[in-house]
Amino acid sequence: MKLKPNVFVLAFVLGAVVLTVLPFLQKRFLKAPAPIRTLPGWQYAGKVAIVSFVPAPCEGECVERQDAFARSKPHLDDLDGGVVWVTLAMPDAGAAIEELRLGWVQWAGTDAGSTPDEFARLPGEAVVDQNGALRGFWKDDPEGRGNAINAARLLWRHGPAP
């Protein structure tokens, strides 16, 4: 009697191999973005921050963006406060939002958002690492927010070394 390979057994074995190897490959290839600039006087040292920046008063579309921002928080609750959600409102945020704006101008290479008021109206989020270094900006949409969350998780798990 000749044994025929069972497709389901082969698929199971192949899946087990891939799932075993995947974490090692992820460590090698998945990295948080390199630092753009250090934010002097950053108040959340020791924590990774996902930062939303908005105009004050926050009305209409801004409120909708902040509601979506807040609904994302449960995606990081398992990290026991290692990642914080911060909203900076213009003009009250002063120096902190100005430092983020300067990082945006450096990172984006565009004049969009070049004034503090324009910057506060950009639909985006930033990630700041444990050492107060700005790591990048993401669009304020589900995909961008997911990418910001992934970057924050990588920084929390593996530390701020790029």
Query: Domain for residue 26, yes or no?
Result: no
Query: Domain for residue 137, yes or no?
Result: yes
Could you tell me the CATH number of the domain that includes residue 84? Answer: 3.40.30.10
The contacts of residue 157 (CB under 8 Å, 6+ apart) are none
- Number of Cα atoms under 13 Å in the Cβ half of residue 142: 0
Q: How many angstroms separate the CA atoms of 119 and 88, rounded?
A: 11
Query: Domain for residue 20, yes or no?
Result: no
Query: Domain for residue 15, yes or no?
Result: no
The one-letter amino acid at 151: A
Query: Domain for residue 31, yes or no?
Result: no
The contacts of residue 123 (CB under 8 Å, 6+ apart) are 65, 139, 140, 141
Task: Report strand pairing: 83-90 vs 48-55.
Answer: parallel
pTM of full prediction above 0.75: yes
Report the domain count for the chain: 1
82-120 pLDDT per residue, tens: 999 999 988 777 788 888 989 998 998 887 887 888 888
Extract the residue ranges of the chain whose pLDDT is less than 70: 1-5, 22, 24-30, 162
Residue 35: per-residue pLDDT: 94
Helix residue ranges per DSSP H, 30-92: 61-71
The contacts of residue 4 (CB under 8 Å, 6+ apart) are none
Query: Domain for residue 18, yes or no?
Result: no
Residue 16: per-residue pLDDT: 86
Residue 25: per-residue pLDDT: 64
Q: How many angstroms separate the CA atoms of 64 and 80, rounded?
A: 26
Query: Domain for residue 73, yes or no?
Result: yes
Residue 85, SS3?
strand
Residue 26: per-residue pLDDT: 61
Residue 103: per-residue pLDDT: 92
Question: Which sign, positive or negative, has the C-alpha torsion 154, 155, 161, 162?
Answer: positive
Residue 156: per-residue pLDDT: 92
Query: Domain for residue 74, yes or no?
Result: yes
Range of 151's domain? 37-158
